[in-house]
Structure 1
Amino acid sequence: MLAVTCTSQSMTDPLTGLTVGERPDPIVPDGWTTVRLRTAALNHHDVWSLRGVGLPADRLPMVLGCDGAGVDADGNEVLVHAVVSSPGWAGDETLDPRRSLLSEVHDGTLAEVVAVPTRNLVPKPEGLSWEHAACLPTAWLTAYRMLFTNADVQPGSTVLVQGAAGGVATALVQLGSAAGLRVWVTSRDAARGEQALALGADQAFTSGARLPERVDAVMETVGAATWSHSVNSLRPGGTIVISGATSGDAPTKAELTKIFFKQLRVIGSTMGTRDELERLSRFVVDAGIEPLVDSVLPLADAREGFEAMVAGRVSGKVVFSI
Structure 2
Amino acid sequence: MKAVTLAARDDNQSDIWHPLHIKELPKPSLDEVSSKTHAIVRIDAAALNHRDIFIRQELYPGWKVGAVLGADGVGHVIEGPAEWKDKRVLIAPMDGWKDDPRGPNGPKRFGTRGGSEPMTKDGTLSEYVRCPVEHLELCPSFLSTEEAAALPLAGLTAYRALFVKCQPQKGWNLLVTGVGGGVAMMAVQFAVAAGLNVWVTSGREDKITKAVSIGARGGVSYKRDDWHRQLKSLLPKERPYLDAVIDSAGGDLVERLCPTMRTGGVISCYGQTTLQPLKLTMVAVLKNIEVKGSTMGSSKDFRDMVRFVDEKRLKPVVSHIVDGLDRVEEAFEIMQKSDQMGKIVVRISSKL
Q: Which residue of 2 aligns with 1:33?
A: 39
Q: Is 2:223 the counterpart of 1:218?
A: no
The 8 Å contact of residues 159 and 217 in structure 1, kept in 2 or not, is answered as: yes
Tell me the number of residue pairs that the alignment of Structure 1 and Structure 2 aligns.
315
Q: Deviations over 1:243-271 (max 9, x none)?
A: 111112435x531x122211112221111
Matched residues in 1 for 2:180 and 2:260: separation? 20
Rounded to whole Å, the distance in 2 between the matches of 1:234 and 1:5 is 44
User: Pick from 87, 94, 100: which aligns with 1:92?
Assistant: 100
- Residue 260 of structure 2 is matched in structure 1 by 233
Of residues 4, 8, 22, the one that matches 2:24 is 22
- Indicate how the Cα distance of structure 1 residues 144 and 138 shifts in structure 2: closer, same or farther if over 3 A, else same: same
Task: Report how far residue 230 of structure 1 moved.
Answer: 3.6
Tell me the secondary structure at the aligned position of residue 263 of structure 2.
strand
Report the Cα offset of residue 111 of structure 1: 0.6
Q: CA deviation at 1:20?
A: 2.4
Which residue does the alignment assign to 2:237?
Answer: none
Q: 1:11 to 1:272 in 2, by over 3 A?
A: farther
Q: Please give the secondary structure, in 1, of the residue aligned with 2:313.
A: coil
Structure 2: distance between partners of 1:6 and 1:25: 18
Partner residue of 1:178? 193
User: Unaligned 5+ residue runs, structure 1?
Assistant: none
For the aligned residue pairs, the C-alpha RMSD in angstroms reads 2.2
1:2 equivalent in alignment to 2:7: no
Among candidates 61, 69, 73, match of residue 68 of structure 1: 73
SS in 1 for 2:86: coil
Alignment of 1:204-215 (within 5 A): 204-207=219-222, 208-210=227-229, 211-212=232-233, 213-215=240-242
Matches within 5 A, 1:240-255: 240-251=267-278, 253-255=279-281
2:15 paired residue among 7, 12, 16: 12
Letter aligned with residue 262 of structure 1: K
Contact 2:228/2:257 (<8 A) preserved:
no
Name the aligned partner's letter for residue 293 of structure 2: G
AA partner of residue 68 (structure 1): G
Rounded to whole Å, the distance in 1 between the matches of 2:211 and 2:14 is 31
Cα distance between partner residues in 2 of 1:230 and 1:115: 45
Structure 2 gap ranges (5+): 80-84, 234-239
Q: 1:18 Cα deviation (Å)?
A: 1.2
| 2:284 is the counterpart of 1:276 | no
Contact 1:162 1:226 in 2 (8 A): no
Say whether the 8 Å CA contact 1:84–1:117 is kept in structure 2. no
CA distance in 1, matches of 2:29, 2:336: 31
* CA apart distance, 1:182: 0.2
The offset of 1:165, in angstroms, is 2.0
Letter in 2 for 1:263: N
Task: Kindly indicate whether residue 120 of structure 2 is the aligned counterpart of residue 111 of structure 1.
Answer: no
Kept in 2, the 8 Å contact 1:136–1:277? The answer is no
Q: Which letter does structure 1 place at the counterpart of 2:228?
A: A
| TM-score, reference length from structure 2 | 0.83
**Matched residue type, 2:288:** Q
Q: Which residue of 1 aligns with 2:151?
A: 136
Tell me whether 1:296 sits opposite 2:321 in the alignment: yes
CA contact (8 A) 1:220 1:230 kept: no
Residues of 2 paired with 1:13 and 1:126: CA distance?
41
* CA–CA separation in structure 2 for the residues paired with 1:54 and 1:65: 13
Q: Deviations over 1:158-202 (max 9, x none)?
A: 101122222211111111112211001122322222221112110
Contact 1:161 / 1:219 at 8 angstroms: preserved in 2? yes
Aligned to 2:56: 50
Q: Name the SS of the counterpart of 1:95 in structure 2.
A: coil
Query: Quick one: which amino acid aligns to residue 26 of structure 1?
Result: P
Q: Which letter maps to 2:216?
A: A
- Partner Cα separation in structure 1 for residue 98 and residue 338 of structure 2: 39
Q: Residue 98 of structure 2 contacts residue 300 of structure 2 at CA under 8 Å; is this kept in 1? A: no
Does residue 340 of structure 2 align to residue 314 of structure 1?
Answer: yes
Q: Which amino acid aligns with 2:242?
A: V
Cα 1:2–1:225 change in 2 (3 A) is farther
